[in-house]
C-alpha cells in the first residue's frame, strides 16, 4: 500500500480553504482542514467533503470536445488536446487578425490564481479581462474604494475577538467560509453578541441574540437611521472620528431627517428595537464588525447600503481594532519580496476596455471590469466588436440574469470557449469545451494571502487526473505555445513555480510540509494613529471627489422600493450549506443531501392564494413559468419569496440535477440592464414574480 499526504486548497467554492488530503494507493482517503491553520479546526464543510464524489463522477467533461451541431444542441466530437488547443488558437488568431486582439475577451471566477491567465491576455494584447464580480461583490468593493481608496480586502473580519457582529445581507452560517464559521462560533461562546438583519430567519438568525426581519430592499433606510441615532446621541468614538473621518458635518446634515421613527415605516422594524440595538452596538465598540456584505448584486442602492455599513464601522472605531476590522499586511509591509508576477512580463494593453470601465465609467476600478457591460459591448459592437470569448471557470448562463438574452448576445461571437471541470449551461452552449482537472487532480500557481499574518500558499496535486483533463497552467501554456508567447510556456509545474519564487529566497520544497510559507510570526495589528486611509486626507472621506466628479451623489437620498402588486412577490435568493452556486447540484453526494430547491413563502400570503406547504406551484413572469415545491413559513417577509440559487438544470448530461427545482435567474427578464452606475453591480432582486396553483 502506498500512502501520501498532499497539502492543498479546496476548490469546491471560492473560499479556497487550506486542506490536508490523505491518499492511499492513488485514491483519496480523507480530506480535512489543514492543521497548520488553527481556525480550520481540522474541518471542511459538507461541500469540501464531497470532493471525492466530484472526481469519481463520470458526468463531467472527460476529454476536450468540439461542437459539431448548432450551439446548445449537445452534438460534440471528442478531440485530442492538440486538436482542441489548435482549434482555439487558430480561432483566436483569426479574430485577432480581422478585428484586432481587443476583440478577444475572457471572464473568470476571480480569486488568487489568476496571474497566469491574465498574463496570457496581456501577452496577446487585449484589455478585455473581467471577473464575475459584477454579479457578486462589486458594490462592496466600490463602496470601500469610494470611502477609503482601499479595497474591501484591505481589512480582515477579526471575528474571533469581536464583541458584537452584525450580519445584514450576509449569512455566515450557511454561506460558508470554514474559518469564519469557527471563529464566530468561538466568539459567540465567549459572549459576543450577534445581530441578524434579514428578510427571513436563516440559520445565522437562529444563533442570533437579536434578529430583525426587514422589508426587502429597505436596508439603506435602516442604516441611515442607525447613523442618525449614533450621531444624535453622540454614541460614536469621538477620538477615531476626529482623527479619521473627513466631513462628518455633511453626514450629520444628511441623516437628520432619517430618524428611527421614519425608518420604522419603511423597514417594518420598530424604532425602539433599532434604538436598543444601537445602544448595544455602541457599548461593544471598537470590537464591532458590521459585515459590509458579500453577495450584494441585489438592489440599485446596495452600493449605498455597503457605504453606510463602512461608515458605521468607522463611527464605532472598529477600523484597525482587535475584534473589528484590522488592516491586512502585504509581503512588502513585512519587509518581504512578493511573488514574481507573470503579468509583469508584458505591458498593460493601451486599448480602451470594451466594458467602458476606466474611460466611459471612470468611477469604477478597471482591473476586473464589469462583465455585464462586456456582454453589452458584444451585443452592440460599441465601442468595438468582441468576437472571441473564453468563459474560464465561469457559468454566466447561470450566474447572470436572463440566460435567453445572453445566448442571443453570444450568437454574435465567432468563437465561444469554456474551460471548466463540470458541465454547465455555458459549457453546453460553447464551441469548444476544455476540461479542467478538478482541484484534487491539479496544481495551481503559488498565491499570496494578505492577512493579519500574511503567507504564500500553493495547491498541490493530490491524485492523478482520472480523465483526459488538464490543469490551468497546462491549458494556458498550450495556448501560449500556439500564439507566440514563449514566455508563458512551461514544461513542468516546478519550472513555473520557480519563476514565481525567484528573488523571494524561498524554494518550492518549503511548501511541502504544510502547503504554506508564513511571512510573519504573529498577527500584526496596525495601531490607532499609525495607519492612514489611502485618500488624499488620509481619512475616510464621506464626500467622494471621484463620485461627485461623475455626477454621482456621495450621500444619496433614500428612495422607497416598490412593493409588489397583489398576488406577486419580490424574488429573493441566497445560499445553503450543502451546495455551491449551480455547480454542485449534480454532485452525487451533495445531490443526495439536497436534490431540489424549495420556494420559501410567507404562510399567510400563501394561504390567501390557497397554497399549502410542500405543494408544487407555478412561478411565473412575463409568460415564463417553472414549477417548484413550497416551504410555508412565518419566518419570511410577506413581500418576498426566496429560493436557493443554482437549481433548475436542463442538461441531459446531468442525470441527477436534470429538471430539479427552479432557476432564479430566468425570472430576471432583461436583468443585465438593471444595474447601479455608482456601485457597478447588476441588481438581481429588482424583479417580481407571481405564484399560483398548478392548473
Ligand atoms: N455553502 C455555500 N457557501 C458559500 C457559497 C455557496 O455557494 N455555498 N458561495 C460563496 C459566495 S460566491 C458568496 S458571494 C457568499 C455569499 O454570502 P452571503 O451574501 O452571505 O449569502 P447569501 O445567502 O447569498 O445572502 C445572504 C442573506 O441575504 C438575505 N437577503 C436577501 N435579500 C435581503 C434584503 O433585502 N435585506 C436583507 N437584510 N437581507 C436580504 C438572504 O435571505 C440571505 O440570508 O457565500 C460564499 N459561500
Ligand atoms: N440569480 C442569481 N445569480 C447569481 C447568484 C445568485 O445567488 N442568484 N450568485 C452570484 C454569485 S455570489 C456568484 S459568486 C456567481 C457565481 O457564478 P460563477 O462565477 O459562474 O461561479 P460558479 O458557478 O462557482 O462556477 C462556474 C463554473 O466554473 C466551474 N469551475 C471550474 N473550476 C472551478 C474551480 O476551481 N472552482 C470553482 N468554484 N468552479 C470551477 C464550475 O464547475 C462551474 O461550471 O453567481 C452570481 N449570480
Ligand atoms: S468553505 Fe467548504 S467548499 Fe468552500 S473552500 Fe472551504 S471547505 Fe471548500
Ligand atoms: Mo459570490
Q: How far is the CA of 206 from the centre of ligand 2 (A)?
A: 27
Residues in the chain with pLDDT < 50? Answer: none
Q: Domains (ranges, CATH) in the chain?
A: 65-136+335-518 (3.40.50.740), 157-326+526-549 (3.40.228.10), 568-693 (2.40.40.20)
Nearest CA to ligand 2 atom 5: 399
**What's the pLDDT score for residue 396?**
98
| Minimum-distance ligand 2 atom for the alpha carbon of 665 | 1
Element holding 392 (H helix, E strand): strand 388-392
| Minimum-distance ligand 2 atom for the alpha carbon of 439 | 35
Q: How far is the CA of 137 from the centre of ligand 4 (A)?
A: 6
Residue 491 CB burial class (10 angstroms; 0-12, 13-18, ≥19): exposed
Nearest CA to ligand 3 atom 4: 13
User: Do residues 142 and 379 touch, judged by C-beta distance below 8 A?
Assistant: no
Pocket test for ligand 2, best of 14, 170, 583, 653 (most atoms within 8 A of CB): 583
Nearest CA to ligand 3 atom 8: 48
Q: Is the CB of 263 inside a 6 Å radius of any atom of ligand 2?
A: no
| Minimum-distance ligand 1 atom for the alpha carbon of 580 | 7
Nearest CA to ligand 1 atom 38: 198
Q: Is the CB of 161 inside a 6 Å radius of any atom of ligand 2?
A: no
Nearest CA to ligand 1 atom 13: 295
Between CA 226 and CA 282 the distance in angstroms is 11
Nearest to 542 by CA among 245, 253, 136: 245
**What's the pLDDT score for residue 62?**
98
Between CA 125 and CA 348 the distance in angstroms is 8
Q: Is the CB of 399 inside a 6 Å radius of any atom of ligand 2?
A: yes
For residue 180, the ligand closest to its alpha carbon is: 3
Pocket test for ligand 2, best of 14, 136, 177, 393 (most atoms within 8 A of CB): 393
| Minimum-distance ligand 1 atom for the alpha carbon of 171 | 20
Chain centroid to Cα 271, Å, comes to 33
Between CA 452 and CA 429 the distance in angstroms is 43
What is the average pLDDT score of the chain?
A: 97
Between CA 304 and CA 552 the distance in angstroms is 11
Pocket test for ligand 3, best of 8, 21, 44, 587 (most atoms within 8 A of CB): 44
In DSSP terms, which residues pair with 108 in a beta bridge? 131, 392
Q: What is the DSSP string of 346-364?
A: SPPP-SPPTT-BTTTBTTS
In DSSP terms, which residues pair with 631 in a beta bridge? 600
Between CA 354 and CA 359 the distance in angstroms is 10
At 515, is the secondary structure helix, strand, or coil?
Answer: coil
Q: How far is the CA of 338 from the centre of ligand 3 (A)?
A: 26
**What's the pLDDT score for residue 695?**
76
Tell me the Ramachandran region of residue 298: left when phi exceeds 0, alpha when psi lies from -120 to 50, beta otherwise. alpha
Radius of gyration of the chain (CA): 25
For residue 50, the ligand closest to its alpha carbon is: 3
Nearest CA to ligand 3 atom 6: 17
- 203-247 pLDDT, tens per residue? 999 999 999 999 999 999 999 999 999 999 999 999 999 999 999
Chain centroid to Cα 505, Å, comes to 33
| Minimum-distance ligand 3 atom for the alpha carbon of 46 | 2
For residue 430, the ligand closest to its alpha carbon is: 2
Q: What is the DSSP string of 29-67?
A: EEEEE-TTSGGGTT---TTGGGHHHHHH-SSS--S-EEE
For residue 684, the ligand closest to its alpha carbon is: 2
**What's the pLDDT score for residue 24?**
96
Q: Which residue has cell 513585512?
A: 334
Q: How far is the CA of 140 from the centre of ligand 4 (A)?
A: 12
For residue 113, the ligand closest to its alpha carbon is: 2
Q: Is the CB of 158 inside a 6 Å radius of any atom of ligand 2?
A: no
Q: Is the CB of 109 inside a 6 Å radius of any atom of ligand 2?
A: yes
Element holding 116 (H helix, E strand): helix 115-124
Q: How far is the CA of 627 from the centre of ligand 4 (A)?
A: 26
Residues 6+ apart with CB under 8 A from 444: 9, 113, 458, 459, 471, 472, 473
**What's the pLDDT score for residue 1?**
79
* Helix, strand, coil percentages for the chain (3-state, nearest 5): 35, 20, 45
- 456-483 pLDDT, tens per residue? 999 999 999 999 999 999 999 999 999 9
Output phi, psi for 415, to 5 deg.
-145, 130
**What's the pLDDT score for residue 172?**
98
Q: Which residues line ligand 3 (CB under 6 A)?
A: 10, 12-13, 15-17, 44-45, 47-48, 176-178
Q: How far is the CA of 319 from the centre of ligand 3 (A)?
A: 27
Nearest CA to ligand 3 atom 1: 177
User: Do residues 612 and 632 touch, judged by C-beta distance below 8 A?
Assistant: yes
**What's the pLDDT score for residue 387?**
98
User: Do residues 378 and 104 touch, judged by C-beta distance below 8 A?
Assistant: no
Alpha helices in 356-452 (DSSP H): 371-380, 396-399, 403-410, 425-429
Residue 688 cell numbers, joined: 417580481
Task: Give, to the nearest 10 degrees, the angle between helix 81-99 and helix 472-482.
Answer: 50
At 436, is the secondary structure helix, strand, or coil?
Answer: strand
Amino acid at each position: 500500500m502506498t500512502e501520501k499526504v498532499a497539502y492543498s486548497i479546496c476548490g469546491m467554492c471560492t473560499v479556497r480553504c487550506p486542506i490536508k488530503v490523505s491518499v492511499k494507493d492513488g485514491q483519496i482517503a480523507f480530506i480535512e482542514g489543514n492543521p497548520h491553520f488553527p481556525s480550520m479546526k481540522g474541518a471542511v464543510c459538507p461541500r469540501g467533503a464531497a470532493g471525492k464524489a466530484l472526481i469519481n463522477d463520470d458526468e463531467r467533461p472527460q476529454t476536450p470536445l468540439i461542437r459539431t451541431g448548432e450551439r446548445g444542441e449537445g452534438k460534440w466530437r471528442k478531440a485530442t488536446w492538440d486538436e482542441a488547443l489548435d482549434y482555439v488558437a487558430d480561432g483566436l488568431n483569426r479574430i485577432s487578425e480581422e478585428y484586432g486582439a481587443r476583440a478577444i475577451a475572457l471572464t473568470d471566477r476571480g480569486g488568487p490564481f489568476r496571474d497566469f491567465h491574465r498574463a496570457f491576455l496581456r501577452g496577446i494584447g487585449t484589455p478585455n479581462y473581467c471577473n464575475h464580480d459584477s454579479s457578486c461583490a462589486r458594490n462592496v468593493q466600490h463602496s470601500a474604494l469610494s470611502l477609503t481608496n482601499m479595497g474591501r480586502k484591505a481589512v480582515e473580519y477579526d471575528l474571533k475577538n469581536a464583541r458584537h457582529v452584525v450580519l445584514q445581507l450576509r449569512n455566515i452560517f450557511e454561506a460558508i467560509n470554514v474559518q469564519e464559521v469557527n471563529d464566530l462560533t468561538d466568539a459567540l461562546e465567549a459572549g459576543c453578541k450577534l445581530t441578524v438583519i434579514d428578510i427571513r430567519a436563516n440559520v445565522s438568525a437562529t444563533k442570533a441574540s437579536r434578529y430583525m426581519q426587514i422589508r426587502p430592499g429597505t436596508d439603506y433606510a435602516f442604516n441611515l437611521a442607525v447613523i442618525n441615532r449614533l450621531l444624535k446621541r453622540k454614541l460614536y468614538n469621538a477620538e477615531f472620528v476626529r482623527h479619521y473621518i473627513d466631513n462628518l458635518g455633511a453626514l450629520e446634515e444628511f441623516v437628520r431627517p432619517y430618524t428611527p421613527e421614519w425608518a420604522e415605516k419603511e423597514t417594518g422594524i420598530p424604532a425602539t428595537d433599532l434604538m436598543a440595538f444601537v445602544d448595544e452596538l455602541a457599548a461593544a465598540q471598537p470590537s464591532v464588525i458590521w459585515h459590509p456584505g458579500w453577495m450584494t448584486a441585489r438592489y440599485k442602492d446596495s452600493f449605498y447600503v455597503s457605504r453606510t455599513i463602512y461608515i458605521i464601522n468607522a463611527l464605532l472605531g472598529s477600523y484597525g481594532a482587535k475584534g473589528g476590522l484590522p488592516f491586512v499586511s502585504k509581503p512588502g509591509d513585512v519587509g518581504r519580496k512578493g511573488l514574481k508576477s507573470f503579468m509583469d512580463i508584458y505591458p498593460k494593453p493601451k486599448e480602451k476596455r470594451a466594458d467602458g470601465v476606466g474611460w466611459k465609467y471612470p468611477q469604477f476600478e478597471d482591473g476586473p471590469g464589469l462583465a455585464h457591460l462586456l456582454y453589452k459591448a458584444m451585443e452592440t459592437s460599441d465601442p468595438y466588436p468582441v468576437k472571441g470569448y473564453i468563459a474560464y471557470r465561469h457559468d454566466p448562463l447561470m450566474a447572470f440574469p436572463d440566460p435567453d438574452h445572453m445566448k442571443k448576445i453570444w450568437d454574435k461571437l465567432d468563437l465561444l470557449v469554456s474551460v471548466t471541470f463540470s458541465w454547465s449551461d455555458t459549457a453546453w452552449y460553447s464551441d469548444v469545451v476544455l476540461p479542467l482537472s478538478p482541484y484534487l487532480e491539479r496544481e495551481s500557481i503559488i498565491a499570496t494571502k494578505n492577512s493579519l499574518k500574511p503567507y504564500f500558499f500553493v495547491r498541490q496535486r493530490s491524485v492523478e487526473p482520472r480523465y483526459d483533463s488538464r490543469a490551468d497552467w497546462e491549458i494556458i501554456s498550450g495556448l501560449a505555445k500556439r500564439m507566440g508567447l514563449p514566455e508563458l510556456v512551461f514544461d513542468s509545474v516546478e519550472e513555473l513555480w520557480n519563476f514565481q519564487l525567484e528573488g523571494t529566497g524561498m524554494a518550492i520544497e518549503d511548501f511541502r510540509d504544510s502547503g504554506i510559507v508564513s511571512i510573519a510570526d504573529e498577527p500584526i495589528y496596525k495601531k490607532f494613529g499609525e495607519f492612514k486611509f489611502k485618500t488624499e486626507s488620509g481619512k475616510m472621506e464621506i464626500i467622494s471627489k471621484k463620485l461627485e466628479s461623475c455626477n454621482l451623489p456621495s450621500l444619496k437620498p433614500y428612495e422607497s422600493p416598490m412593493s409588489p402588486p397583489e398576488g406577486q412577490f419580490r424574488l429573493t435568493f441566497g445560499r445553503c450549506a450543502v451546495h455551491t452556486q449551480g455547480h454542485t447540484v449534480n454532485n452525487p453526494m451533495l445531490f443526495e443531501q439536497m436534490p431540489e430547491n424549495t420556494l420559501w413563502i410567507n404562510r399567510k400570503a400563501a394561504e390567501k392564494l390557497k397554497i399549502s406547504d410542500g405543494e408544487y406551484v407555478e412561478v411565473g413572469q412575463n409568460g415564463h413559468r417553472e414549477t417548484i415545491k413550497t416551504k410555508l413559513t412565518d419566518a419570511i417577509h410577506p413581500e418576498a419569496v426566496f429560493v436557493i440559487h443554482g437549481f433548475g438544470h436542463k442538461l441531459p448530461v446531468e442525470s441527477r440535477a436534470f429538471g430539479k427545482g427552479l432557476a432564479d435567474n430566468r425570472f430576471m427578464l432583461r436583468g443585465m440592464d438593471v444595474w447601479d452606475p455608482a456601485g457597478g453591480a447588476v441588481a438581481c432582486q429588482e424583479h417580481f414574480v407571481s405564484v399560483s396553483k398548478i392548473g
